[in-house]
Amino acid sequence: MKQTTSDTFQDGTEMNLSDHKNKKIKQFIEVNSVTELVSACLLWLTCLAPGLLIAEESKLYSLKNGQTVAPLEQFQECEQCPEMIVMPLGSFMMGATQEESRDPFDFYGENATKTRRAPDDIHIIPHEHPRHEVEIDIPFAMGRNEVTHAEWMRCVNAERCTHNPEHRILRLGGYVLLGPDHPVINVSFEDAQEYLSWLNSLVGDDVYRLPTEAEWEYSAKAGAQTRYAQGNDITAEQANFSGDATETTLGVRPPGLADRDMSVRVEELDAANSWGLRHMSGNVQEITQSCWSETHLGLASDSEYLSIQPDTNNCWRVLKGGSYAKGVDGLRPAVRGKTPPGWRSDSR
Protein backbone atom coordinates (compact mmCIF):
# COMPACT_ATOMS: atom_id res chain seq x y z
CA MET A 1 0.00 0.00 0.00
CA LYS A 2 1.17 3.51 -0.57
CA GLN A 3 0.70 6.46 1.77
CA THR A 4 1.12 10.22 1.87
CA THR A 5 1.31 13.04 4.37
CA SER A 6 1.03 16.77 3.72
CA ASP A 7 0.08 20.32 4.69
CA THR A 8 1.11 23.46 2.82
CA PHE A 9 2.94 26.47 4.22
CA GLN A 10 3.11 29.80 2.45
CA ASP A 11 5.96 31.38 4.43
CA GLY A 12 8.67 28.76 3.94
CA THR A 13 8.65 27.62 7.56
CA GLU A 14 8.26 24.08 8.79
CA MET A 15 5.82 22.87 11.39
CA ASN A 16 5.31 19.57 13.18
CA LEU A 17 2.11 17.72 12.33
CA SER A 18 1.28 17.14 15.96
CA ASP A 19 0.22 20.80 16.13
CA HIS A 20 -2.68 19.96 13.80
CA LYS A 21 -3.50 16.38 14.70
CA ASN A 22 -7.06 17.17 15.76
CA LYS A 23 -7.97 18.93 12.51
CA LYS A 24 -9.31 16.30 10.14
CA ILE A 25 -10.92 17.33 6.87
CA LYS A 26 -11.52 15.99 3.39
CA GLN A 27 -10.74 19.14 1.49
CA PHE A 28 -8.50 22.17 1.77
CA ILE A 29 -9.03 24.59 4.67
CA GLU A 30 -6.97 27.74 4.93
CA VAL A 31 -5.98 28.43 8.53
CA ASN A 32 -3.24 30.93 9.35
CA SER A 33 -1.66 30.42 5.90
CA VAL A 34 -1.51 26.66 6.42
CA THR A 35 -3.40 24.26 4.15
CA GLU A 36 -4.49 21.24 6.14
CA LEU A 37 -5.79 18.02 4.66
CA VAL A 38 -6.63 14.49 5.61
CA SER A 39 -4.16 11.76 4.79
CA ALA A 40 -4.86 9.03 2.37
CA CYS A 41 -3.39 5.76 1.39
CA LEU A 42 -3.99 3.04 -1.12
CA LEU A 43 -3.85 -0.55 -0.06
CA TRP A 44 -1.88 -3.23 -1.80
CA LEU A 45 -1.23 -0.51 -4.00
CA THR A 46 -1.04 3.10 -2.94
CA CYS A 47 -1.96 5.57 -0.28
CA LEU A 48 -2.06 9.10 0.89
CA ALA A 49 -1.80 10.89 4.21
CA PRO A 50 -2.39 14.41 5.56
CA GLY A 51 -0.05 14.20 8.48
CA LEU A 52 2.59 15.79 6.30
CA LEU A 53 3.35 19.49 6.12
CA ILE A 54 4.96 21.16 3.16
CA ALA A 55 6.86 24.44 3.08
CA GLU A 56 5.80 26.02 -0.21
CA GLU A 57 9.13 27.68 -1.00
CA SER A 58 11.52 25.00 0.23
CA LYS A 59 9.27 22.10 -0.87
CA LEU A 60 10.08 20.28 2.35
CA TYR A 61 7.57 18.17 4.26
CA SER A 62 7.74 17.66 8.00
CA LEU A 63 6.42 14.34 9.29
CA LYS A 64 4.88 13.98 12.71
CA ASN A 65 8.03 12.26 13.97
CA GLY A 66 10.11 15.33 12.99
CA GLN A 67 11.61 13.82 9.85
CA THR A 68 11.84 16.18 6.87
CA VAL A 69 11.36 14.87 3.33
CA ALA A 70 11.31 16.39 -0.16
CA PRO A 71 9.40 15.44 -3.35
CA LEU A 72 10.45 12.02 -4.71
CA GLU A 73 12.20 11.24 -1.42
CA GLN A 74 11.48 7.90 0.26
CA PHE A 75 10.52 7.59 3.94
CA GLN A 76 9.06 5.15 6.44
CA GLU A 77 7.06 6.76 9.22
CA CYS A 78 7.18 3.86 11.70
CA GLU A 79 8.72 0.39 11.92
CA GLN A 80 5.55 -1.33 10.72
CA CYS A 81 4.55 1.39 8.26
CA PRO A 82 5.08 0.87 4.52
CA GLU A 83 7.84 2.63 2.60
CA MET A 84 6.48 5.82 1.05
CA ILE A 85 7.62 8.17 -1.71
CA VAL A 86 6.59 11.83 -1.74
CA MET A 87 4.84 12.73 -4.99
CA PRO A 88 5.58 16.10 -6.65
CA LEU A 89 2.75 18.55 -7.16
CA GLY A 90 1.70 19.26 -10.75
CA SER A 91 -1.00 18.49 -13.28
CA PHE A 92 -1.69 15.74 -15.82
CA MET A 93 -4.15 14.58 -18.44
CA MET A 94 -6.45 12.01 -16.83
CA GLY A 95 -7.94 9.37 -19.09
CA ALA A 96 -6.95 7.75 -22.38
CA THR A 97 -6.12 9.20 -25.75
CA GLN A 98 -8.31 8.09 -28.67
CA GLU A 99 -5.64 5.85 -30.18
CA GLU A 100 -4.31 4.46 -26.91
CA SER A 101 -6.17 1.15 -26.52
CA ARG A 102 -5.17 -1.78 -28.73
CA ASP A 103 -8.09 -3.94 -27.56
CA PRO A 104 -9.54 -5.37 -30.83
CA PHE A 105 -13.00 -6.00 -29.39
CA ASP A 106 -15.83 -3.45 -29.30
CA PHE A 107 -17.33 -4.53 -25.98
CA TYR A 108 -17.69 -1.30 -24.03
CA GLY A 109 -20.45 1.29 -23.83
CA GLU A 110 -24.09 1.49 -24.87
CA ASN A 111 -23.31 1.39 -28.59
CA ALA A 112 -20.87 -1.52 -28.48
CA THR A 113 -21.21 -3.95 -31.39
CA LYS A 114 -19.81 -6.91 -29.40
CA THR A 115 -17.61 -7.74 -32.37
CA ARG A 116 -13.98 -7.41 -33.43
CA ARG A 117 -13.12 -3.93 -34.71
CA ALA A 118 -11.63 -3.25 -38.11
CA PRO A 119 -7.84 -2.73 -37.99
CA ASP A 120 -8.10 0.99 -38.80
CA ASP A 121 -10.95 1.76 -36.36
CA ILE A 122 -10.16 4.19 -33.53
CA HIS A 123 -11.15 2.45 -30.33
CA ILE A 124 -12.61 4.68 -27.64
CA ILE A 125 -13.51 2.90 -24.41
CA PRO A 126 -16.20 5.21 -22.97
CA HIS A 127 -15.35 4.80 -19.29
CA GLU A 128 -11.75 5.94 -19.96
CA HIS A 129 -13.06 9.28 -21.25
CA PRO A 130 -13.42 12.23 -21.40
CA ARG A 131 -9.72 12.92 -21.18
CA HIS A 132 -9.25 16.05 -19.07
CA GLU A 133 -6.61 18.00 -17.18
CA VAL A 134 -6.43 17.56 -13.39
CA GLU A 135 -4.37 19.73 -11.06
CA ILE A 136 -2.79 17.81 -8.20
CA ASP A 137 -3.22 20.39 -5.45
CA ILE A 138 -2.94 18.08 -2.43
CA PRO A 139 0.60 17.19 -1.30
CA PHE A 140 0.80 13.43 -0.77
CA ALA A 141 2.99 10.34 -0.78
CA MET A 142 2.42 6.89 -2.25
CA GLY A 143 3.56 3.48 -1.12
CA ARG A 144 6.72 2.39 -2.94
CA ASN A 145 5.48 -1.19 -3.19
CA GLU A 146 2.24 -3.11 -3.02
CA VAL A 147 1.34 -4.07 0.55
CA THR A 148 2.86 -7.49 1.21
CA HIS A 149 1.29 -10.46 2.92
CA ALA A 150 3.81 -10.09 5.76
CA GLU A 151 2.79 -6.45 6.28
CA TRP A 152 -0.89 -7.39 6.33
CA MET A 153 -0.31 -10.24 8.80
CA ARG A 154 1.25 -7.82 11.28
CA CYS A 155 -2.15 -6.18 11.47
CA VAL A 156 -3.83 -9.59 11.88
CA ASN A 157 -1.38 -10.56 14.64
CA ALA A 158 -2.05 -7.24 16.37
CA GLU A 159 -5.76 -8.22 16.33
CA ARG A 160 -6.65 -5.08 14.39
CA CYS A 161 -7.40 -6.84 11.06
CA THR A 162 -10.14 -9.46 11.38
CA HIS A 163 -9.59 -11.01 7.93
CA ASN A 164 -6.78 -13.56 7.56
CA PRO A 165 -6.55 -13.77 3.74
CA GLU A 166 -5.88 -16.97 1.84
CA HIS A 167 -2.39 -16.67 0.35
CA ARG A 168 -2.32 -19.14 -2.53
CA ILE A 169 -3.24 -19.21 -6.22
CA LEU A 170 -4.92 -22.06 -8.10
CA ARG A 171 -3.03 -23.15 -11.21
CA LEU A 172 -3.41 -26.16 -13.52
CA GLY A 173 -1.27 -28.37 -11.26
CA GLY A 174 -3.05 -27.33 -8.07
CA TYR A 175 -2.63 -24.57 -5.52
CA VAL A 176 0.64 -22.65 -5.32
CA LEU A 177 1.50 -21.14 -1.96
CA LEU A 178 2.85 -17.59 -2.04
CA GLY A 179 5.53 -16.15 0.22
CA PRO A 180 5.56 -13.27 2.73
CA ASP A 181 7.01 -10.83 0.18
CA HIS A 182 4.28 -11.39 -2.39
CA PRO A 183 1.54 -8.74 -2.42
CA VAL A 184 -1.40 -9.51 -0.17
CA ILE A 185 -4.38 -10.88 -2.13
CA ASN A 186 -7.96 -11.85 -1.34
CA VAL A 187 -8.63 -8.60 0.48
CA SER A 188 -11.51 -6.21 -0.21
CA PHE A 189 -12.11 -2.48 0.08
CA GLU A 190 -13.85 -3.13 3.39
CA ASP A 191 -10.91 -5.21 4.66
CA ALA A 192 -8.56 -2.38 3.70
CA GLN A 193 -10.31 0.01 6.06
CA GLU A 194 -9.21 -2.06 9.06
CA TYR A 195 -5.61 -2.10 7.86
CA LEU A 196 -5.64 1.66 7.35
CA SER A 197 -7.17 2.22 10.78
CA TRP A 198 -4.37 0.16 12.31
CA LEU A 199 -1.68 2.16 10.48
CA ASN A 200 -3.27 5.39 11.68
CA SER A 201 -3.22 4.11 15.27
CA LEU A 202 0.53 3.46 14.95
CA VAL A 203 1.30 7.07 13.98
CA GLY A 204 -1.37 8.67 16.16
CA ASP A 205 -3.26 10.51 13.43
CA ASP A 206 -5.60 9.90 10.49
CA VAL A 207 -2.94 10.08 7.81
CA TYR A 208 -3.46 6.87 5.83
CA ARG A 209 -6.28 6.20 3.37
CA LEU A 210 -6.79 4.83 -0.12
CA PRO A 211 -5.94 7.28 -2.91
CA THR A 212 -8.48 8.74 -5.23
CA GLU A 213 -8.51 7.51 -8.80
CA ALA A 214 -6.91 10.80 -9.88
CA GLU A 215 -4.07 10.47 -7.35
CA TRP A 216 -3.41 6.89 -8.42
CA GLU A 217 -3.33 7.64 -12.16
CA TYR A 218 -1.13 10.71 -11.70
CA SER A 219 1.36 8.67 -9.66
CA ALA A 220 1.31 5.73 -12.07
CA LYS A 221 1.97 7.88 -15.14
CA ALA A 222 4.82 9.68 -13.34
CA GLY A 223 4.80 12.55 -15.82
CA ALA A 224 4.78 10.32 -18.93
CA GLN A 225 2.62 11.15 -21.95
CA THR A 226 2.92 7.63 -23.40
CA ARG A 227 0.69 4.56 -23.16
CA TYR A 228 2.60 3.34 -20.10
CA ALA A 229 4.96 5.13 -17.73
CA GLN A 230 7.78 3.15 -19.38
CA GLY A 231 6.82 4.17 -22.93
CA ASN A 232 4.31 3.10 -25.56
CA ASP A 233 5.17 -0.54 -24.90
CA ILE A 234 5.98 -2.49 -21.76
CA THR A 235 7.89 -5.78 -21.46
CA ALA A 236 7.58 -8.88 -19.30
CA GLU A 237 10.73 -7.75 -17.49
CA GLN A 238 9.02 -4.49 -16.50
CA ALA A 239 5.58 -5.82 -15.55
CA ASN A 240 3.82 -9.06 -14.64
CA PHE A 241 1.00 -9.72 -17.11
CA SER A 242 -0.46 -12.52 -19.25
CA GLY A 243 1.35 -13.39 -22.44
CA ASP A 244 -1.59 -15.41 -23.76
CA ALA A 245 -4.07 -12.56 -23.17
CA THR A 246 -1.63 -10.17 -24.83
CA GLU A 247 -1.39 -12.42 -27.90
CA THR A 248 -5.19 -12.42 -28.13
CA THR A 249 -5.25 -8.62 -27.95
CA LEU A 250 -2.46 -7.93 -30.44
CA GLY A 251 -3.14 -10.80 -32.83
CA VAL A 252 0.54 -11.82 -32.72
CA ARG A 253 2.85 -13.04 -29.99
CA PRO A 254 5.76 -10.62 -29.60
CA PRO A 255 9.05 -12.16 -28.46
CA GLY A 256 9.81 -12.18 -24.75
CA LEU A 257 6.26 -12.59 -23.43
CA ALA A 258 5.82 -14.60 -20.23
CA ASP A 259 2.89 -16.44 -18.65
CA ARG A 260 3.66 -16.53 -14.95
CA ASP A 261 -0.01 -17.08 -14.04
CA MET A 262 0.57 -15.73 -10.55
CA SER A 263 1.84 -12.67 -8.74
CA VAL A 264 5.55 -12.10 -8.17
CA ARG A 265 7.33 -10.73 -5.10
CA VAL A 266 7.14 -6.95 -4.79
CA GLU A 267 10.88 -6.50 -5.39
CA GLU A 268 10.94 -8.69 -8.50
CA LEU A 269 11.28 -7.29 -12.05
CA ASP A 270 12.41 -3.89 -13.27
CA ALA A 271 8.98 -2.61 -12.27
CA ALA A 272 9.62 0.96 -11.03
CA ASN A 273 8.38 4.01 -12.89
CA SER A 274 10.48 7.20 -13.04
CA TRP A 275 9.16 8.30 -9.62
CA GLY A 276 10.24 5.04 -7.98
CA LEU A 277 6.79 3.42 -7.56
CA ARG A 278 6.82 -0.30 -8.34
CA HIS A 279 4.25 -2.55 -10.05
CA MET A 280 1.82 0.25 -10.86
CA SER A 281 1.22 -1.78 -14.04
CA GLY A 282 0.43 -5.46 -13.56
CA ASN A 283 1.03 -8.00 -10.79
CA VAL A 284 -2.14 -7.35 -8.72
CA GLN A 285 -4.97 -4.88 -9.20
CA GLU A 286 -5.21 -1.95 -6.83
CA ILE A 287 -8.34 -0.56 -5.20
CA THR A 288 -8.89 3.18 -5.01
CA GLN A 289 -11.15 5.26 -2.78
CA SER A 290 -13.14 6.55 -5.75
CA CYS A 291 -16.66 5.37 -6.55
CA TRP A 292 -17.25 3.97 -10.03
CA SER A 293 -18.79 6.16 -12.73
CA GLU A 294 -19.60 5.15 -16.30
CA THR A 295 -17.40 7.97 -17.61
CA HIS A 296 -14.86 10.29 -16.01
CA LEU A 297 -16.41 13.07 -13.95
CA GLY A 298 -14.15 15.66 -15.57
CA LEU A 299 -13.26 17.44 -12.32
CA ALA A 300 -10.46 20.00 -12.44
CA SER A 301 -8.49 19.18 -9.30
CA ASP A 302 -7.46 16.42 -6.95
CA SER A 303 -9.16 18.18 -4.03
CA GLU A 304 -12.46 18.07 -5.95
CA TYR A 305 -12.09 14.33 -6.54
CA LEU A 306 -11.33 13.81 -2.86
CA SER A 307 -14.23 15.96 -1.63
CA ILE A 308 -16.90 13.89 -3.42
CA GLN A 309 -15.89 10.52 -1.94
CA PRO A 310 -18.51 9.08 0.44
CA ASP A 311 -17.72 7.86 3.94
CA THR A 312 -19.92 4.82 3.42
CA ASN A 313 -19.05 1.53 1.71
CA ASN A 314 -22.17 1.38 -0.48
CA CYS A 315 -20.63 2.11 -3.90
CA TRP A 316 -18.50 0.03 -6.24
CA ARG A 317 -14.87 1.21 -6.18
CA VAL A 318 -12.54 1.91 -9.08
CA LEU A 319 -9.78 -0.65 -9.72
CA LYS A 320 -6.51 0.35 -11.38
CA GLY A 321 -3.26 -1.18 -12.62
CA GLY A 322 -4.22 -4.52 -14.15
CA SER A 323 -2.86 -7.84 -12.92
CA TYR A 324 -0.88 -10.96 -13.84
CA ALA A 325 -4.09 -12.31 -15.46
CA LYS A 326 -4.58 -9.32 -17.79
CA GLY A 327 -3.19 -8.72 -21.25
CA VAL A 328 -0.85 -5.82 -21.86
CA ASP A 329 -3.68 -3.45 -22.87
CA GLY A 330 -5.17 -3.82 -19.39
CA LEU A 331 -2.00 -2.47 -17.77
CA ARG A 332 -2.34 1.09 -19.08
CA PRO A 333 -2.66 3.63 -16.21
CA ALA A 334 -5.79 5.00 -17.90
CA VAL A 335 -7.62 1.65 -17.67
CA ARG A 336 -10.49 1.50 -15.16
CA GLY A 337 -12.17 -1.49 -13.54
CA LYS A 338 -14.69 -1.77 -10.72
CA THR A 339 -15.38 -3.96 -7.69
CA PRO A 340 -18.06 -4.30 -5.01
CA PRO A 341 -16.75 -3.10 -1.62
CA GLY A 342 -16.78 -6.59 -0.09
CA TRP A 343 -15.38 -8.58 -3.04
CA ARG A 344 -12.14 -10.55 -2.63
CA SER A 345 -9.96 -11.95 -5.41
CA ASP A 346 -6.59 -13.67 -5.84
CA SER A 347 -5.61 -11.01 -8.43
CA ARG A 348 -5.93 -8.18 -5.88
Query: 5 and 50 in contact (C-beta within 8 Å)?
Result: yes
Count of C-beta atoms within a 10 Å radius of residue 215: 30
| Cα gap 238→230, rounded to integer Å | 8
304, burial (CB in 10 Å: exposed 0-12, middle 13-18, buried 19+): middle
For the segment 33-41, the average pLDDT, to the nearest whole number, is 30
Q: Is the pLDDT of residue 348 over 80?
A: no
Count of C-beta atoms within a 10 Å radius of residue 237: 12
Q: Which of 44-53, 93-102, 151-160, 293-302 has the lowest mean pLDDT?
A: 44-53
Nearest Cα residue to 161 out of 171, 146, 149, 172: 149
In this structure, what DSSP letter does residue 88 have? P
Q: Is the pLDDT of residue 3 over 50?
A: no
| Cα gap 39→52, rounded to integer Å | 8
Q: Is the pLDDT of residue 43 over 90?
A: no
Q: Which of 16-20, 182-186, 240-244 has the lowest mean pLDDT?
A: 16-20
Q: Which of 6-10, 92-96, 233-237, 241-245 has the lowest mean pLDDT?
A: 6-10
pTM for the complete prediction? 0.84
For the segment 238-243, the average pLDDT, to the nearest whole number, is 97
pLDDT per residue as tens digits for the range 44-98: 333 444 444 444 445 788 887 888 999 999 999 999 999 999 999 999 999 999 8
Q: Where in the chain does DSSP place strands (E)?
A: 2-3, 7-9, 29-31, 34-36, 40-42, 47-48, 53-55, 60-62, 68-69, 74-75, 84-87, 90-94, 132-136, 140-143, 168-171, 174-177, 286-291, 317-320, 337-339
The upper half-sphere exposure of residue 326, i.e. CA atoms within 13 Å in the direction of its Cβ, equals: 24
